[in-house]
Amino acid sequence: MQAYSVIGKRIPRLEGIAKATGEARFTDDLTLPRMLYGKILRSPHAHARILSIDISGALRLPGVKAVITGKDVTGKPYGVYLRTSEQYPLAKDRVRYIGDEVAAVAATDEDTAEEALSLIRVEYEPLPAVFDAYEAMKPGAPRIHEAEGNIAGRTAKTVGDVERGFSEADYVREDSFKMERQAHGPLEPHSALASSDSSGRVALWTSNMSPFTKQLLLAKTLNKPLSDVRIRQSYVGGAFGGKSELFSLDFCASLLSLKTGRPVKINYSREEVFAATRHKFPMDIYLKTGVKKDGSLLAREARVLGRAGGYASTGIMAVFIACTSLFDTYKYPNLRLEGACVYTNLPICGALRGHGSTQARFADESQMNIIAEELGLDPVEFRLKNAIRKGDSHPLNGKVITSCGLSECIEKATESSKWKEKRGKESGLQTSEPRLAGVGMACTTGYTAVHISKLSSSAAFIKFNEDGGVNLLTGAIENGQGTETMLAQIAAEELGLRAEDVVVIDGDTRDTPLDVGSFTMALTFVTGNAVKLAAADAKKQVMQIASAMMEAPASQLEARNGKIFIKSRPEKGLSFAEVVRTGLIKGTPILGKGYFNPDSEFLDVYKGEGKWVGAYSFSAEVAEVEVDRETGQVKVSGSTFAQDCGRAINPMDVEGQIEGGTTLTHALSLREDFFWEQGKLLNPSFLDYAMPTSLDVAVVRPIIVEDPHPQGPFGAKETGESSAHTGAAAIANAIYHAAGVRIKEAPITPQAVLQALREKETGFRT
């Protein structure tokens, strides 16, 4: 494998010191002169018609400077991945879940703003509500939107002859699985600070993952041209997919600022973050799979039902990703998928690390183990037999897989975890030991650069400074993934500089070029390529100047560690500073630009058409669990996770992403759950929502597998998304190995495990 100077090095995060010392400024740390404070009034009803809103009492309160309602929303509604937009940032005629935004105020302090909310009089006409997706689809169910059967969108596709595949199968298996909601739980609550000027332009600092997506949607709802809306960079305290969309506070802070002529800040309380932002999509998944006796997969039918909430958000995309994720890790010659996203009168769901894949992998990898068990096959050999390999075509969209380390991931994860040794032991069911130990495996495919909109490409600029250092301008934003460090390493490697020679200027829609954002796992693959191309453009200019200075052809020059020298005479060289100064004197400043659009086709989520993915990553996890037969409690005692990321730009960051994603899914699998009463969330706080602490986290052993992608920057693909896919299935499979009970719903609660154990021991259902 090619040796690099900067790529593959364990370089500490460039912004790490600022965050560790408290120097980093998040949105809520920002204060502007004459700043006002905003608050949002929310619906107490799960479903109701708004008859009237009286804001006169709030306007009379001293310190209140403005009040806005749905009548002040003059722009278009917004939606994501829908043929028609559906949601306004303030409800116009109806509210569709408890917490739906109704009005907003701006006042001189937070207490006054809070009091003003209590003085707004809203007259509602309560409407019948529906909280179960299956009930919502029945004839006569309350209509939440105009959609027939409350179905926000459908997707369907067939490849091959599915019925023939089933008829030729020696064994056909049918199972149903369910995964519930999960909260993102960022340490930083959602926050927005807007400032406007006399020309009607507005600038917004907001905790977000995709500035240009936010700009596009905000301009749409404000009814303004893009040039009048600026999204500015601030540090992000956690996102996990939950800060890519437009939120009501972004719009309300902006409109209130435009109305008052003063800056307006709105912070969500922790309760608002839990109840009124986004959750992971809960899904029900049915699988029917046909197999030959030797383990060859012949056919699969899949049906996915996604439960969206009061608005669809990214629902149809999540359902589609879940559907395709059921077919992109193993080879299926015949397949049929159907998916639907359904409205209910519950809070909205959206993208959360995995975005449909986590739910799909729970179903797929659980059934893979069930089939292996029924056929008497080793689950590892069963997976290796059917695994996608380099050169294969994707079963669903026909895209040729040009980089695939799935088999190597399986082999390394099982070897490192001592799979054969631990699987060979008795599970403990025949002993009187109170705790049963088991191991389970799950595999996954990750997406890199899903082509879902016009914002699927990225651009980057490189500007050389007089001292030989560079400024890298990118629209990408650092939201905890190590983005700045990774992009600096790519630029430095291409230029022949050190990472510390690169200053990253990011995330400002006015000053930086267009970027896809990090919500489709496009950042390393797409933005990284744009940066690499910009650096190559700048380097070419540097070499042309150096060639004249050194009287040697540019082809004979090399740049490394901040020096430019003749390959055959490394002792003779120039510093970058000398070359750049010469260029400035001669009127040729060095400015590099790069643009990258992945080799993919636009995705039609409704028809499942288009080669929509730039590259695929692959992973395998082995989870080790202990099951308490007296209480049903399950503890993850360890996890081995092997990831084919193409090329590890920064191995330390890759390992951190693996550890974080794995831990997040372990928590979803065993601990985290919401509790409802007629649409009202009963546990909207860290106290009652069981997120794990450092004491609850298992030791994760990351293994980096590198199968470079021919189009990736230095071969890199992705790692942050797919590390959150496998945990639920690996744990469920390990529970089965330990205790002999199969759990098909996540989170896997102690009550469910205990009931299954009792049924197994007694032979009776309780």
pLDDT digits (tens, 9 = 90+) for 754-764: 999 999 888 76
Nearest-CA neighbor of 439 among 194, 250, 701, 190?
701
Asked if residue 376 is part of any domain, the answer here is: yes
| 463, 399: one domain | no
pLDDT digits (tens, 9 = 90+) for 56-80: 999 999 999 999 999 999 988 887 6
pLDDT digits (tens, 9 = 90+) for 723-754: 999 999 999 999 999 999 999 999 999 999 99
Confidence of residue 659 (pLDDT cuts 50, 70, 90): very high
| 268, 294: one domain | no
Asked if residue 177 is part of any domain, the answer here is: no
* 709: pLDDT strictly greater than 70: yes
* 600: pLDDT strictly greater than 80: no
Asked if residue 508 is part of any domain, the answer here is: yes
Confidence of residue 570 (pLDDT cuts 50, 70, 90): confident
Average pLDDT over residues 335-359: 94
Of 130-144, 257-271, 442-456, the poorest mean pLDDT is in: 442-456
* 443: pLDDT strictly greater than 90: yes
Quote the pLDDT of residue 268.
97
* 85: pLDDT strictly greater than 70: no
**pLDDT above 90 as % of the chain:** 78
Asked if residue 753 is part of any domain, the answer here is: yes
DSSP class of 714: G
Tokens (6 digits) for 200? 């009607």
Sign of CA dihedral 179, 181, 187, 193: positive
Domain boundary among 537, 563, 596: 596
Asked if residue 1 is part of any domain, the answer here is: no
Quote the pLDDT of residue 607.
77
Average pLDDT over residues 663-686: 94
| 210, 326: one domain | no
| 212, 344: one domain | no
CATH number at residue 610: 3.30.365.10
* 450: pLDDT strictly greater than 70: no
Quote the pLDDT of residue 718.
86
Quote the pLDDT of residue 255.
98
Tokens (6 digits) for 432? 């009187």
Output the 3-class SS for 385-430: HHECCCCCECCCCCCECCCCCHHHHHHHHHHHCCHHHHHHCCCCCC
Domain boundary among 276, 300, 325: 276
Quote the pLDDT of residue 743.
97
Average pLDDT over residues 4-32: 94
Of 25-34, 467-476, 521-530, 650-659, the poorest mean pLDDT is in: 521-530
- As a whole number of angstroms, the distance between CA 82 and CA 318 comes to 12
| 407, 478: one domain | no
Output the 3-class SS for 252-317: HHHHHHHHHCCCEEEECCHHHHHHHCCEECCEEEEEEEEECCCCCEEEEEEEEEEEEECCCCCHHH
Confidence of residue 454 (pLDDT cuts 50, 70, 90): low
Residues ≥6 apart with Cβ < 8 Å to 599: 614, 711
| 481, 545: one domain | yes
Average pLDDT over residues 299-328: 93
| 258, 298: one domain | no
Quote the pLDDT of residue 398.
83
| 534, 465: one domain | yes
Burial tier of 495 (Cβ tally within 10 Å: 0-12, 13-18, 19+):
buried
Quote the pLDDT of residue 10.
96
Confidence of residue 455 (pLDDT cuts 50, 70, 90): low
Quote the pLDDT of residue 337.
95
Asked if residue 680 is part of any domain, the answer here is: yes
The SS3 assignment for 150 reads helix
* 84: pLDDT strictly greater than 70: no
* 464: pLDDT strictly greater than 70: yes
Average pLDDT over residues 253-257: 98
| 346, 321: one domain | yes
CATH number at residue 84: 3.90.1170.50
**Cβ neighbour number for residue 585 with a 10 Å cutoff:** 8
Quote the pLDDT of residue 424.
81
- As a whole number of angstroms, the distance between CA 341 and CA 315 comes to 6
Cα dist. 259→106, 232, 357, 391 in Å? 10, 20, 43, 58
Quote the pLDDT of residue 431.
58
| 422, 466: one domain | no
pLDDT digits (tens, 9 = 90+) for 613-627: 888 999 999 999 999
Quote the pLDDT of residue 410.
98
The SS3 assignment for 656 reads helix
| 696, 607: one domain | yes
Strand partners, 101: 42
Burial tier of 279 (Cβ tally within 10 Å: 0-12, 13-18, 19+):
buried
* 448: pLDDT strictly greater than 80: no
Domain boundary among 554, 580, 596: 596
Quote the pLDDT of residue 399.
84
Mean pLDDT, the chain, rounded, equals: 92
Q: What is the pTM of this model?
A: 0.95
Quote the pLDDT of residue 520.
64
Average pLDDT over residues 166-181: 97
Task: Specify the DSSP element, H or E, that contains 541.
Answer: helix 528-550
Task: Specify the DSSP element, H or E, that contains 111.
Answer: helix 110-118
Going by their DSSP bridges, the two strands 48-54 and 121-126 should be labelled as: antiparallel
- As a whole number of angstroms, the distance between CA 674 and CA 128 comes to 22
Nearest-CA neighbor of 7 among 488, 473, 475?
488
Task: Specify the DSSP element, H or E, that contains 651.
Answer: helix 651-670
Number of domains in the chain: 3
Average pLDDT over residues 46-61: 98
- As a whole number of angstroms, the distance between CA 429 and CA 169 comes to 33
Quote the pLDDT of residue 380.
97
* 766: pLDDT strictly greater than 80: no
| 36, 111: one domain | yes
Quote the pLDDT of residue 58.
98
Asked if residue 49 is part of any domain, the answer here is: yes
Average pLDDT over residues 498-519: 90
Domain span at residue 224? 31-127+186-239+243-276
Asked if residue 104 is part of any domain, the answer here is: yes
Higher pLDDT among residues 722 and 748, named by residue:
748
